[in-house]
Every structure is written in C-alpha cells, then in structure tokens.
Amino acid sequence: MENVSCDYIIAGAGAAGLASAQYASRSGLQTIVLDLAGPGGQALQIIELENYPGIYPPVRGDEFISVMQKQAESFGTRIIPAEVLSIDKIGQVFHVRTAKTDYAASALLIATGAEHRTLGVPGEKEFTGAGVSYCAVCDGPFFRGKNIIVVGGGDSACTEALYLSTLSEHVMILYRGAKLKADKTTVDRVLANKNITVRYNTVVKEIRGTKRVESVVMEDTGSGSSSEQPADAVFVFIGMNPRTELVDMLAKDEAGCIITNDRMETAVPGLFCAGDVRSKSFRQIITAVADGAVAAHEAEKYVRSLSGAGAVKVKILKKMIGLFALAAFPVFAETLPQNVTFWSDYPADALAETITDRMTDDELLSQIFMFGWSGAEPDEAAVPVGQQRAWQRESVRLEYGRYRTCCKIHFVSSARRVVQQI
C-alpha cells in the first residue's frame, strides 16, 4: 500500500471540492482531491449554466467544470480518481484510505455532495438503464420524439423537463404537490411550454414493461384513482441524498446533511465540510463554490496553526529516528510509567506530523507515549496485535463521541512496538 502525505485532502471533486482545491493550492497548501468518478459531480448534468454570475453567455456544466479543474491544477492541485473508503484521525493527522493508497493530511474537506433519490416503486430498479433515468443530459437523446415522463416538481425536474421538451413533444411532469416548486422563471417557462403537460397531486405507483419501460401506473392522490400512462422513458428528479457515509458520526440536520458553522468547520478540528453535503438552505454551484473557498481559507489557517507540522515532517521524522533509535529504546522503556499511551500500527510519517519542531526531547517523548486520551485501558494481553485496529476505533469513539477515528492505544508496556514501527 502506497503512502502519500500532503497538507489538505479533499474528498469529492465537484464544484465545492474544486473551488476549495484552487484556493488552498493558491495559498500554498499541498492539496490532493480524490473523486470516485473523476471531476465534476452533479455539475456535469447541467445542460446550460445560466445563473452563475460572470459566466455569460451560458456554458454547459462539463465546460464549466473543465475550466475549474484546469484552474485548480494550474496552482498545483493534484486530482486523483479514487474512492475514499474511510477516514480516521490519528492525533492531528487525518488518514484517508483508498483501495491503492493511504493518504495523510493535516486538514480534510468533505465535499462528497449528494446523489439522487429513488422512487422505490416496482419496476424502477428493474428498468434503470432501460428507460428509467436520473440524468436527462445523459439519456435524453435516446428518447427523441418519444413519450417521456418526468417525476418531480422542483428545480431539477422543471429544468430537465424543459431540456427534454427540446427532444420530444410528449413530455409529462408528474408531481405529488399542487404547485411546482422550482424558481418562478423556470416554472413560467414550463407552464408556457406546449411540449410539456403537468399532472399535479399525482404519484407513481409502478413502472411497467417487458424489456424496456412501456408505461407508468400513477395515482391521483386527491381521488385515489389509478391510471396507466404509456411511456418510453421515466426521468426521476425527486431530490438528493447527501453523501455522508464517510463521516457518519458527525452531527446532521433533519435532512441528513452535515452541520457546520459558517467557517465550514465540523466538531472535529481540521475537518471541514462544503457543498451540497452540508446543511444549508440553497444548493447551487455558487453556494458550493463559496463553501469550498471558505473551507480552504479556514483549512489554511488551521494547517499553519499546527506549527508547520506538514512542512517540517521530514525534518522531524529524521529527528525522531535519531532520538528513538532502536538501540536506545530500553533506556526509555525503563523510565516510562506503567500505564502509557502509544501507537501500534501507526504510520511513522503520520506520527511525525503530530510532532512540532519546537518541542523539547521530553515533550517529544511524551507526545509519542502519552497521547491525550486516558480512559479505562485493557492490558496488553487483552489487545492482541491482530485486533488492535478494531480496538483503536472503538477507543476513539469514546474520545470524540461523535466521530469515527483512531489515534491512541492505551495499554501497558508494549512500547517496544513503537520503536519497531518507527
């Protein structure tokens, strides 16, 4: 497994992540952005971005993202296609795990955005990719001149219905509410469009077909009556679910979005959150980008406040190796208290990042062996080597309360392992 260190890691290369990367790189932070699907996120679905100030005439979402990407890279950002699998905080260092590489950084931004909600009706799963779609710009062209149903009544549903109406004269919006809830300009355009009909107070009960979508069974919520509507495609735009699974212990609002303050800080120092995954009232490119910029600004201050931990990493590591060379270890072991806190399978470079240049030798020693948390500790025999990682996670839940991370092993006299690890 490769190990890579930097100042600032960003999970998610959507508008929020790319904006934050640009600001952070420009301010001198070594910045890496990881994205499971490559740069862009939801913005790739925008057919015409016409509400972003300063961009006129409108551009396609992918064009906009391509410029953002180049701009971030021009300041030194590295964008890497990889899914973030887990995040841990060890001391002052964030460890971000992907399939091939472990990343360590002083600050971390969660910008994992949101993914579409599903209807959960019979036929939806079976016909996804065979008429059921969540992306008009991706799949709309397959249904030129066909019967298209759009489910939903918000901004996405209305905007996408307008786009689909350029491909077909037979677009029907099914909406469970009594009034479309997109912004007024968009609603006016939908209602004035002769290719679009709207059925209010209507829910989808089933999507039917043989090999592909052939019809939709819908119910009028007022009368309770059901009817079947011929359809070749069903585009579902009924909202998004925030992607918070990496930080499931953080505080969230009723919609499941992560709560931050206006500096994008979470309850965990150095952990920031930006964009659609964050609790806020307005989810747009411009708010995602603004979140990202604020997070970068705060991350920079945070990283600098760690007394140059990232910048002096190599120097400190060398210093530690000198101080705690294997041969010298028994001397320290004798002087240690009976109950000590230290690492087991803890990467040495990450440990170095938690040590500051200004510390005395004694402080260094205490940082390594006496890391903060001191709950009730099992003895060494109770923590077999192979199980230490699982035990670490549990222990840190106690420390942070709401956040899954690991940093401290707290048990008696296995100090030799620290030296072996270094």
Ligand X SMILES: Cc1cc2nc3c(=O)[nH]c(=O)nc-3n(C[C@H](O)[C@H](O)[C@H](O)COP(=O)(O)OP(=O)(O)OC[C@H]3O[C@@H](n4cnc5c(N)ncnc54)[C@H](O)[C@@H]3O)c2cc1C
Q: Is residue 242 part of the contact set for ligand X (CB under 6 A)?
A: no
Angle at 249 (CA atoms; ends 247, 250), nearest 5 degrees: 75
> What is the closest distance, in whole angstroms, from the C-beta atom of residue 327 to ligand X in the complex?
43
- CA atoms lying within 13 Å on the CB side of residue 150: 32
User: In the window 103-162, what residues touch ligand X (CB under 6 A)?
Assistant: 111-114, 156, 159-160
Rank residues 131 and 154 by Cβ distance to ligand X and give the closer one: 154
CA atoms of 231 and 199, how far apart (whole Å): 14
Q: Which of 86, 118, 221, 284 binds ligand X (CB under 6 A)?
A: 284
Number of chain positions touching ligand X (CB under 6 A): 38
Using CB under 6 A, which of 29, 31, 41, 298 touches ligand X? Answer: 41
Query: Over 234-247, what HEC string results?
Result: EEECCCEEECCHHH
DSSP 386: G
Counting contacts by CB under 6 A, is residue 173 touching ligand X?
Answer: no
Q: Which is nearer to ligand X, 291 or 377 (CB)?
A: 291
Is residue 45 near ligand X by the rule CB under 6 A?
Answer: yes
11 binds ligand X (CB under 6 A): yes
User: Which C-beta is closer to ligand X: that of 159 or that of 344?
Assistant: 159
84 makes contact with ligand X (CB under 6 A): yes
Euclidean distance between the first and final Cα of the chain, in Å?
17
Contact stretch for ligand X (CB under 6 A) within 32-40, 72-80, 395-403, 409-417? 32-40
Of the candidate spans 12-20, 225-233, 311-319, 320-328, the one that interacts with ligand X by CB under 6 A turns out to be: 12-20
CB atoms within 10 A of CB 280: 17
Catalytic residues: 135, 138-139
Q: What are 348's two structure tokens?
A: 């040495």
Distance (Å) of CA 42 to CA 20, 21, 46, 208: 16, 17, 7, 28
- CA proximity to 223, closest of 191, 190, 199, 198: 199
Quote the CA–CA distance of 97 and 380 in Å, as a whole number: 27
By the criterion CB under 6 A, which residues form the site for ligand X? Answer: 11-17, 34-37, 40-43, 45-46, 49, 51-52, 83-84, 111-114, 156, 159-160, 243, 246, 275-276, 283-286, 288
